[in-house]
């Protein structure tokens, strides 16, 4: 069931709220940036996310095929979300689960997680170990 969560970067300059059903699942991938930052995401349609403050503090980082806009706070460096289009061209937001405020650790521990092999540009689980992601 969708619930409205608030979230932010570390310093609070960037704040957002989003309607998310965390029970539908979260994801991690093994691409180079996600591996280095241990990214953990929940995907929502762009219309389900509202930026409350900090648009002027966000900067965009892209690499590789430049399909994903990895946004980060210029004050603290935290990446609270990314913007991307899904396979059908719909605008989506990948929220960093760890940037959602007030989610209990027990709830986080029970969330379903899917893994994607984006290091090899495949939307399927990577071969081998994933516990480090």
Predicted pLDDT at 32: 84
For the stretch 16-57, pLDDT in tens is 999 999 999 998 888 888 888 888 999 999 999 999 999 999
Predicted pLDDT at 29: 85
Predicted pLDDT at 5: 97
Pairing state of beta strands 113-116 and 26-29?
parallel
Predicted pLDDT at 63: 87
SS3 state at 63: coil
Alpha helices in 10-121 (DSSP H): 32-37, 105-110
Segments making up each domain of the chain, as ranges = 3-120
Phi, psi for 130 (deg, rounded to 5): -130, -5
pLDDT confidence bin for 129, thresholds 50/70/90: low
Beta strand ranges found along 21-127 (DSSP E): 26-29, 41-45, 49-53, 58-61, 69-73, 81-85, 91-96, 113-116
Considering the entire predicted model, what is its pTM? 0.86
Say which CATH class 3-120 falls into: mainly beta
Distance CA 113, CA 32 (A): 19
Q: Are 70 and 39 in contact (CB under 8 A)?
A: no
Predicted pLDDT at 111: 93
For the stretch 63-107, pLDDT in tens is 888 888 999 999 999 999 999 998 889 999 999 999 999 999 999
């Amino acid at each position: 069931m969708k619930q409205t969560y608030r979230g932010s970067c570390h310093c609070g300059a960037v704040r957002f709220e989003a309607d998310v059903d965390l029970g539908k699942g979260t994801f991690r991938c093994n691409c180079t940036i996600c591996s280095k930052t241990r990214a953990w995401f929940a995907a929502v349609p762009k219309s389900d996310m509202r930026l409350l403050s900090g648009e002027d503090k966000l900067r965009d980082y892209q690499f590789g095929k430049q399909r994903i806009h990895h946004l980060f706070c210029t004050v603290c460096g935290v990446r609270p979300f990314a913007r991307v289009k899904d396979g059908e061209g719909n605008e989506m937001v990948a929220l960093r689960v760890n940037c959602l405020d007030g989610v209990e650790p027990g709830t986080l521990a029970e969330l379903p997680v899917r893994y994607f092999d984006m290091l090899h540009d495949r939307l399927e689980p990577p071969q081998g170990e994933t516990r480090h992601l």
